[in-house]
Amino acid sequence: MAYYFGTFDSIAERLFSVHLDVVVPTYNRSILLRRTISSLLQAPIPTSLEVTIVIVDNNSKDDTEHVVREFQSKTTRPLVYVKETNQGLSHARNAGIRGGAGEIIGFIDDDEEIHEDWYNVVAREFADSSTHFIGGPYLANWAAPAPNWLPPGYHAVIGAIDPKPRSPFGGDFQGNLMGGNAVIRRSAFERVGMYSPKLGRSGKGLLSDEDAEFYRRLRAADIPGMYVPDLIIYHHIPAERLTRKYHRRWCYWRGVSQGLADKDEQEQTAYTLGIPRYKIGRAVKGLFSFPRRLVSNQRAGEAFAEELASWDLLGFIYGKYFINIERYYGKQ
């Protein structure tokens, strides 16, 4: 009897478990990828969850495929290697979606490691059938000491975002569904489509904002989601991101991406000359406060944040009025 009872339990667990695909897009980061895969393989998986790890190699020139094959030979957990030849983060994520069969799909980046309770949190949240997507914080794994001039309000530049209180996405929640730590039901993609290749970063440019554009589609479709503070990943922050030059460049290209997106769908806000007024206001405030910053004791981070608003605006103008996306990337 014990034999049949045990077999029945194991069959029941498989019948009532949820299948999660964890998609990891990667490009020339095999050393960091080892740490990412190790964390995914070492974290305990609850019996209510089946997990398949999908590594999407986006034309890496290093030994990425060898690294994945090495892990495949040593693990009993499902680990799939997918090659995506269309360059770009959005192409890679979409290939991972197509390459799996899970009813829920998790996304982390190749420079991240998951917290040991990550799978348990996913299982807990998606036990509620009304939850269609979740996101969580990015805890910094600093490769170098953080400088004192890091600007408030621009944490996404380096990808270090402290936990906020648990809250439904939308409404009063001030945040975005970041694609480096998100879990989404497959049915949501079937309703609103996948990530936009026009905005995903690629080898040809630094266009981004694909996360925000996809999140806007989720919200427009009234698909409910939850920000979950204990859905934790650890994000490697390299020293080269801890420069003012990197911040200016990142903000400029995010502005370009937002300008491109604005051609198709404008924000629900007031505009002047085709530009959201709040962007103009922030940039003007930063420009007029520059002389004051030179002679005051204003904290370096606040002063730099005011400057970055101008880079956001310049990028937006360029993206909306001066870029033809098909000429820039070629026809998608």
Domain regions of the chain by residue span: 2-241, 244-329
Q: What is the CATH number of domain 2-241?
A: 3.90.550.10
Sheet containing 225-227: order of strands: 79-83, 49-57, 18-26, 104-108, 181-185, 133-135, 225-227, 167-168
Higher pLDDT residue, 131 or 3? 131
Between CA 56 and CA 25 the distance in angstroms is: 5
Assign 198 a pLDDT band (cuts: 50, 70, 90).
confident
Considering Cα of 286, then 287, then 288, then 293, what sign does the dihedral take? Answer: positive
Would you give the distance in Å from CA 79 to the centre of its chain?
21
Q: Whole-number mean pLDDT of the chain? A: 87
Contacts of the segment 262-269: beta carbons below 8 A, 24+ positions apart = 262/316, 262/319, 262/320, 263/320, 265/216
State the Cα angle at 253 between 218 and 314, rounded to 5°. Answer: 110
Assign 71 a pLDDT band (cuts: 50, 70, 90).
very high
Backbone angles phi, psi at 238, to 5 degrees: -75, 155
Residue that has been written with the tokens 């002679």 in this structure: 295
pLDDT for 12 equals: 41
- Taking phi first (over 0 means left), then psi (-120 to 50 degrees means alpha), and beta for anything else, what does residue 121 get? alpha
Between CA 274 and CA 321 the distance in angstroms is: 10
Assign 289 a pLDDT band (cuts: 50, 70, 90).
low
pLDDT for 171 equals: 75
